[in-house]
């Protein structure tokens, strides 16, 4: 972890597993890394298709103020979510997004990284697992949790019987993230972030 308090915002629309994504991230940090975690969720009046957001705070210390004010990491699974929240990220933060669903602001000074999460999810089973692919990508690029602890959190959070497919989705995202990170580190002049795994 780069700071004592890490704030993560996951955004998208209902039906994409936004809240589940935040829950799994918090579960991995709290149960397998002995961190404190607080999750808050916001969604529109319609469960499916409306704007949805999960705000997660992770810290090695008790969390006295459980509100995300200036996220360090934004995970964007929809264009509306990205557009709405991209300016809320701190200047040296990072934005992870599904490159098939989000058109990024190329002039943004914030570090961006993308993955074809929806396409990968379809390849391993179903597009509904794009959030799990994104979790793998996030795990590879950050120090939030180890791959092992995140896999345990995924297995303990998804519906029974779907664990193998969800773990395949996670590993697909994780492997892509490792390759992305290796390629990025070889380049010169790229934007970076203190939250990026070294």
Question: pLDDT, tens digit, for every residue of 36-76?
Answer: 999 998 765 545 567 899 999 999 999 988 889 899 999 99
CA separation for the pair 27, 100 (Å, rounded): 28
Q: Are 17 and 133 in contact (CB under 8 A)?
A: no
Question: pLDDT, tens digit, for every residue of 139-148?
Answer: 999 988 999 9
Evaluate if residue 35 carries a pLDDT over 70. Answer: yes
CA separation for the pair 12, 5 (Å, rounded): 23
Q: What per-residue confidence (pLDDT) applies to 46? A: 46
Give me the half-sphere count of Cα atoms (radius 13 Å) on the Cβ side of residue 62: 1
Q: Which residue has the tokens 């896999």?
A: 151
SS3 5: coil
Q: What one-character-per-residue DSSP string does 92-145 give?
A: T-EEEEETTT----TT--SEEEEE-HHHHHHHHT-GGGHHHHHHHHHHHHSSSS
Q: What per-residue confidence (pLDDT) applies to 43? A: 67
Q: Which helix (H) or strand (E) covers residue 27, if one does?
A: helix 18-32
Q: What per-residue confidence (pLDDT) applies to 2? A: 42
CA separation for the pair 130, 174 (Å, rounded): 12
What domains appear along the chain, each with residue ranges and CATH number? 6-186 (3.40.920.10)
Q: What per-residue confidence (pLDDT) applies to 51? A: 81
Q: What one-character-per-residue DSSP string does 130-181 give?
A: HHHHHHHHHHHHSSSS-HHHHHHHHHTTSPTT-HHHHHHHHHHHHHHHHHHH
Q: Is the pTM of this model over 0.85?
A: yes
Q: What per-residue confidence (pLDDT) applies to 9? A: 97
């Amino acid at each position: 972890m780069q700071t004592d308090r890490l704030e993560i915002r996951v955004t998208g629309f209902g039906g994409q597993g936004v809240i589940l994504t935040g829950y799994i991230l918090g579960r991995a940090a709290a149960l397998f890394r002995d961190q404190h975690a607080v999750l808050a969720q916001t969604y529109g009046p319609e469960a499916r298709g409306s704007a949805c957001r999960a705000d997660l705070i992770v810290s090695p210390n008790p969390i006295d103020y459980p509100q995300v004010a200036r996220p360090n990491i934004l995970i964007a699974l929809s264009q509306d979510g990205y557009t709405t929240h991209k300016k809320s990220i701190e200047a040296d933060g990072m934005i992870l997004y599904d490159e098939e669903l989000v058109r990024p602001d190329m002039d943004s000074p914030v570090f961006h990284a993308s993955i074809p999460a929806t396409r990968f999810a379809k390849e391993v089973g179903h597009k509904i697992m794009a959030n799990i692919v994104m979790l793998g990508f996030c795990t590879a690029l950050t120090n939030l949790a180890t791959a092992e602890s995140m896999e345990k959190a995924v297995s303990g959070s998804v519906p029974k019987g779907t664990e193998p497919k969800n773990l395949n989705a996670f590993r697909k995202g994780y492997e892509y993230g490792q390759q992305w990170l290796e390629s990025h580190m070889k380049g010169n002049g790229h934007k970076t972030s203190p939250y990026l795994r070294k």
